[in-house]
């Protein structure tokens, strides 16, 4: 057994991964924390140039690394496989993103915590591939970390409470937010039920604060409304908004053209599952299945955070703590049962279930597309081409759908389009197969061709 | 003011700060797109902003297919727009 094997390897340094690293370290285990970003925090605890001193101090505390942790920033895990001596073998590349000549390293871990997070789900509409259409997460990241407002006059369109902090960041970066459009029911429903499922989570005060800020800046918040087209020659200049019925079908006669140089969309989140799938973890409904101690179906592999279900940073951190303690216990360290974290997990999951029920994606979005609206942005496959090819070639299963239509064969490997394409061809379960990506992160051919035995240890 | 980096963007010299991404610099210059698609030559820029969608690909120091939203600038970087499928130069 090598020295590496005796450590807990954690992939992802967001709220879940950081909590896992802390819990494992507190139990006495060595920790290897692997993250693709230059600084720990993930998307949620990203360095925020707009924050005040108190906010920055809070973030610094929340992202502090425990003693005994080796942090590997700027590092991609591009493959995972069973290690010869038991456990998992991780193949890493460290260095500037997508640069040739990044340093290669192979790590075996008897205990592995996957905390790979999620990315925004975007729904397609005519013009969604024009420059100036962003995901809400892109707008948030650029505002917080790069102090860049993605437009001067920005429309936000999507569903769920996450749109509100994005609006706040955009305002902070100097943009005028033309409107926040919620395709479903208003998030104010949460505020009307203070004894309900959000009670005690701190979410109510957070939501109320965001809504008050929108009111101060006279930003309209319009429920049952969405952007259904973006217009412009080479970049967005305007968008069509429309009222939606409860199934998200546009209500005829309610179209309005709104001037905007940026449109940001966020319809919930898609978990980043490729490492869990590659490790052989059983999946359910697109997420990694976990037991009470965040153990996946693969011995020695734990999962925490959005990878196991969309529930936000508090739940992610609680799950991370449970996973980190369990991983340390597996290595023989006497970790105390994290009873408080387990309670936070239970409460967080009730909240997550209520959130998912309150903000579902309804099928009427499929009617927003025209025949030539791109579904797969990489391979430039339009809706009609996709649906007809799937029908004509009787595509059964993900592989035949990809080969018959080319969706998901481009560089993003279906990360953006898989769920949308699967729903458009009438079989949402087909989306799961897209997560089978033996090369989990992009790697240059020269790096792949390098002999692993000569790579730097 | 911290350290200032000098990079080139399509031949033009541009000042940047450590920690800025290539996308941050390009958007800060007012650029909205810097790539065209392989198939129809459609313009593309940032979409997901966190390295997932591969829309913001750019050529850095002669190497194509670099995600502008993930790559931090380094002093002397030569950044060029990417047209369709490009081979390393």
pLDDT, tens digit, for every residue of B31-67? 999 999 999 999 999 999 999 999 999 999 999 999 9
Query: How far is the first Cα of chain A from the last one, in angstroms, to the nearest whole number?
Result: 16
Q: Cα separation of A329 and A444, whole Å?
A: 37
Selected residue with higher pLDDT from B89 and A353: A353
Among residues A47, A41, A46, the alpha carbon closest in space to that of A16 is found at A41
> Is residue B28 classed as helix, strand or coil in its secondary structure?
helix
B-chain CB neighbours of A415 within 8 Å are 52-53
Q: How many other C-beta atoms lie within 10 A of the C-beta of residue A168?
A: 20
Q: Cα separation of A288 and A35, whole Å?
A: 19
Which residues of chain B from 31 to 70 reach within 8 Å of chain A, CB to CB? 32-33, 37, 39-40, 42-55, 57, 60, 63, 65-67, 69-70
> Is residue B86 classed as helix, strand or coil in its secondary structure?
coil
In this complex, do B37 and A380 lie within 8 Å of one another by their Cβ atoms? yes
What is the token pair recorded at A377? 């942005």
Q: Cα separation of A340 and A317, whole Å?
A: 12
Query: Can you give the pLDDT at residue A191?
Result: 61
Q: Which long-range contacts (CB under 8 A, 24 or more apart) does A279-287 make?
A: A279/A80, A279/A88, A279/A112, A279/A114, A281/A114, A283/A432, A283/A435, A286/A419, A286/A431, A286/A432, A286/A435
- Residues of chain A below pLDDT 50: 1-3, 453-454, 456-457
Query: Can you give the pLDDT at residue A446?
Result: 82
Please say whether the beta carbons of B23 and A111 come within 8 A: no
A-chain CB neighbours of B40 within 8 Å are 380
Query: Can you give the pLDDT at residue A314?
Result: 93
In this complex, do A134 and B23 lie within 8 Å of one another by their Cβ atoms? no
**Where do the DSSP E strands lie in A207-306?**
221-223, 225-231, 238-243, 256-259, 262-267, 269-271, 283-284, 287-288, 301-303
> Is residue A435 classed as helix, strand or coil in its secondary structure?
helix
In this complex, do B47 and A142 lie within 8 Å of one another by their Cβ atoms? no
**Where do the DSSP E strands lie in A169-237?**
176-182, 221-223, 225-231
Please say whether the beta carbons of A328 and A19 come within 8 A: no
- Among B53, B77, B85, pick the best mutation site for testing chain A contact (most A Cβ within 10 A): B53
Query: Can you give the pLDDT at residue A4?
Result: 54
Q: How many other C-beta atoms lie within 10 A of the C-beta of residue B78?
A: 14
Which residues of chain A from 409 to 428 reach within 8 Å of chain B, CB to CB? 410-412, 415-416
What is the token pair recorded at B37? 């698609």
DSSP state of A295: B
Residue of B nearest to A120 (CA): B48
Residue of A nearest to B45 (CA): A131
A-chain CB neighbours of B51 within 8 Å are 36, 97
Residues 6+ apart with CB under 8 A from A109: A4, A5, A7, A8, A9, A32, A83, A87, A88, A89, A90, A300
A-chain CB neighbours of B57 within 8 Å are 411
Please say whether the beta carbons of A276 and A302 come within 8 A: no
In this complex, do A234 and B33 lie within 8 Å of one another by their Cβ atoms? yes
**A117–B contact, CB cutoff 8 A:** no
A-chain CB neighbours of B43 within 8 Å are 130-131, 234-235
Q: Cα separation of A315 and A327, whole Å?
A: 18
Please say whether the beta carbons of A166 and A156 come within 8 A: yes
Residue in A38, A122, A442 closest to B72 by CB: A38
């Amino acid at each position: 057994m090598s020295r590496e094997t005796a450590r807990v390897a954690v992939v992802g340094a967001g709220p879940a991964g950081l909590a896992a690293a802390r819990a494992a370290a507190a139990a006495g285990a060595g920790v290897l924390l692997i993250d693709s970003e230059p600084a720990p925090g993930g998307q949620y605890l990203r360095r925020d140039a707009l924050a005040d001193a108190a906010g920055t101090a809070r973030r610094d505390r929340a992202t502090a690394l425990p003693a005994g942790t080796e942090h590997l920033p700027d590092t991609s895990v591009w493959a995972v496989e069973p290690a010869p001596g038991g456990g998992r073998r991780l193949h890493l590349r460290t260095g500037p993103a997508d640069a040739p000549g990044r340093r290669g390293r192979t790590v075996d871990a008897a205990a592995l915590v996957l905390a790979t997070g999620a990315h925004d789900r975007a729904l397609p509409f005519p013009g969604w591939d024009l420059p100036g259409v962003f995901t809400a997460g892109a707008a948030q990241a650029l505002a917080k970390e790069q102090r860049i407002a993605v437009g001067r006059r920005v429309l936000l369109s999507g569903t769920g409470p996450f749109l509100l902090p994005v609006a706040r960041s955009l305002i902070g970066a100097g943009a005028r937010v033309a409107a926040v459009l919620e395709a479903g029911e208003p998030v104010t429903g949460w505020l009307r039920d203070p004894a309900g499922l959000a009670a005690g989570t701190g979410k109510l005060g957070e939501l109320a604060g965001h809504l008050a800020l929108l009111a101060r800046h006279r930003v309209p918040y319009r429920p049952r409304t969405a952007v259904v087209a973006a217009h412009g020659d080479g970049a967005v200049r305007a968008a069509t908004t429309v009222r939606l019925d409860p199934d998200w079908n546009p209500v005829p006669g309610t179209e309005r053209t709104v001037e905007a140089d940026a449109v940001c969309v966020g319809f919930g989140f898609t978990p980043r599952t490729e490492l869990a799938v590659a490790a052989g973890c059983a999946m359910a409904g697109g997420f990694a299945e976990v037991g009470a101690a965040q153990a996946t179906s693969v011995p020695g592999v734990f999962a925490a955070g959005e990878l196991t279900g969309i529930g936000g940073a508090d739940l992610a951190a609680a799950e991370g703590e449970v996973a980190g303690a369990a991983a340390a216990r597996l290595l023989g360290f006497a970790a105390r049962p994290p009873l408080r974290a387990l309670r936070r997990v239970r409460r967080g999951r009730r909240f997550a279930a209520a959130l998912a029920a309150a903000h579902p994606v309804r099928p009427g979005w499929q009617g927003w597309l025209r025949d030539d609206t791109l579904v797969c942005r990489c391979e430039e496959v339009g809706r009609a081409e996709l649906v007809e090819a799937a029908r004509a070639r009787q595509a059964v299963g993900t592989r035949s759908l990809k080969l018959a239509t080319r969706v998901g064969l481009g560089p993003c490997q279906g990360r953006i389009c898989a769920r949308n394409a699967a729903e458009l061809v009438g079989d949402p379960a087909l989306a799961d197969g897209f997560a089978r990506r033996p090369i989990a992160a992009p790697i240059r051919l020269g790096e792949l061709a390098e002999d692993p035995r000569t790579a730097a240890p | 003011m911290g350290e200032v980096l000098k990079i080139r963007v399509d031949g033009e010299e541009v000042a940047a700060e450590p920690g800025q991404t290539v996308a941050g610099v390009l958007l800060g210059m007012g650029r909205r797109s810097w790539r065209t698609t392989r198939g129809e030559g459609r313009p593309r820029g940032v979409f997901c902003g966190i390295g997932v969608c591969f829309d913001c690909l750019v050529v850095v120091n002669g190497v194509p297919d670099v995600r502008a939203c993930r790559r931090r600038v380094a002093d002397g970087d030569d950044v060029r727009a990417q047209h369709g499928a490009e081979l390393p130069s």
